[in-house]
A and B are shown apart, each in its own frame.
Chain A
Amino acid sequence: DGGITQSPKYLFRKEGQNVTLSCEQNLNHDAMYWYRQDPGQGLRLIYYSQIVNDFQKGDIAEGYSVSREKKESFPLTVTSAQKNPTAFYLCASSVRTSGRREQYFGPGTRLTVT
């Protein structure tokens, strides 16, 4: 079964701790993305990557970091510098060839920081 997995589904951390959210895809997609969603709100782009070893800041990159060492994996680290880290985080991927340009999404991770 091809798809995107995010783990864990729920994550709890104490304030001041860094935390890494996992995102893995076996769709052979080149591009991967991280979004943040706050209650009742839309999606805000954190970081994205079109190819391995390259990534771009999105609209709200401050307090976050990413790596893209493998095509299949795009982990997101929420650092202690992120002022309001509690949110729902969605990972997505897409092809870069013409035609099916939509993004496929993982099930999301709900991060709670207290």
Chain B
Amino acid sequence: AQTVTQSQPEMSVQEAETVTLSCTYDTSESDYYLFWYKQPPSRQMILVIRQEAYKQQNATENRFSVNFQKAAKSFSLKISDSQLGDAAMYFCAYRSVPMNRDDKIIFGKGTRLHILP
């Protein structure tokens, strides 16, 4: 079974600085999807970024980028120029490619990010 591990329960970063959130996963599959979700105080889950495992190029969405290391099974999220609105819980998630009856997303336990003004 696949697992997702976020080893940093909490992190803090100064406003305008850069921060990296770590995520590792375990799988025997060769093709899959990885995601980072953000959950602000409103508790609405928001997709931040998506990475397809077959793509070697790291995904980027404005100030958010990932460092995808497939061999190391690592998927870290880098937030550049941190803003107060980035304060949230961040979840790393894994999803298999095959769409069978057991298809579901596996979430990590989350990292709470604090932005210091």
The answer to whether A42 and B108 have CB atoms under 8 Å apart is yes
Given A102-B50, A105-B44, residue A42 in contact with residue B33 (CB < 8 A): no
A-facing residues in B7-37 (Cβ within 8 Å): 33, 35
Judge whether A63 is part of the interface by a CB distance below 8 angstroms.
no
The answer to whether A56 and B43 have CB atoms under 8 Å apart is no
Chain B residue at minimum C-beta to C-beta distance from A35: B107
The answer to whether B45 and A101 have CB atoms under 8 Å apart is no
Min CB distance B40 to A, Å, is: 12
The answer to whether B44 and A54 have CB atoms under 8 Å apart is no
Judge whether B102 is part of the interface by a CB distance below 8 angstroms.
yes
Interface size on B, residues (CB 8 A): 23
Min CB distance A102 to B, Å, is: 5
The answer to whether B33 and A56 have CB atoms under 8 Å apart is no
B33 touches which of A37, A102, A104 (Cβ 8 Å): A102
Given A42-B108, A42-B109, A42-B110, residue A31 in contact with residue B43 (CB < 8 A): no
Chain B residue at minimum C-beta to C-beta distance from A50: B101
Given A42-B109, A101-B33, residue A108 in contact with residue B44 (CB < 8 A): yes
Judge whether A84 is part of the interface by a CB distance below 8 angstroms.
no
Interface size on A, residues (CB 8 A): 28
Min CB distance B3 to A, Å, is: 12
Query: Which of the segments A11-19, A64-72, A73-81, A90-98 contacts the partner chain?
Result: A90-98
The answer to whether B97 and A98 have CB atoms under 8 Å apart is yes
Please measure, in the bound complex, the distance between the C-alpha atom of A100 and the C-alpha atom of B35, giving whole angstroms. Answer: 11
Given A43-B91, A101-B33, A102-B35, residue A96 in contact with residue B99 (CB < 8 A): yes
Judge whether A28 is part of the interface by a CB distance below 8 angstroms.
no
Judge whether B84 is part of the interface by a CB distance below 8 angstroms.
no
A-facing residues in B85-117 (Cβ within 8 Å): 91, 95, 97, 99, 101-105, 107-110, 112
Besides A97-B99, A101-B33, A102-B35, 4 more A-B contacts (Cβ < 8 Å) are A33-B105, A48-B104, A104-B47, A107-B42
Question: B residues touching A (Cβ–Cβ < 8 Å)?
Answer: 33, 35, 42-47, 50, 91, 95, 97, 99, 101-105, 107-110, 112
7 contacts across the A-B interface (CB closer than 8 A): A37-B43, A42-B110, A90-B45, A92-B45, A94-B105, A98-B99, A104-B47
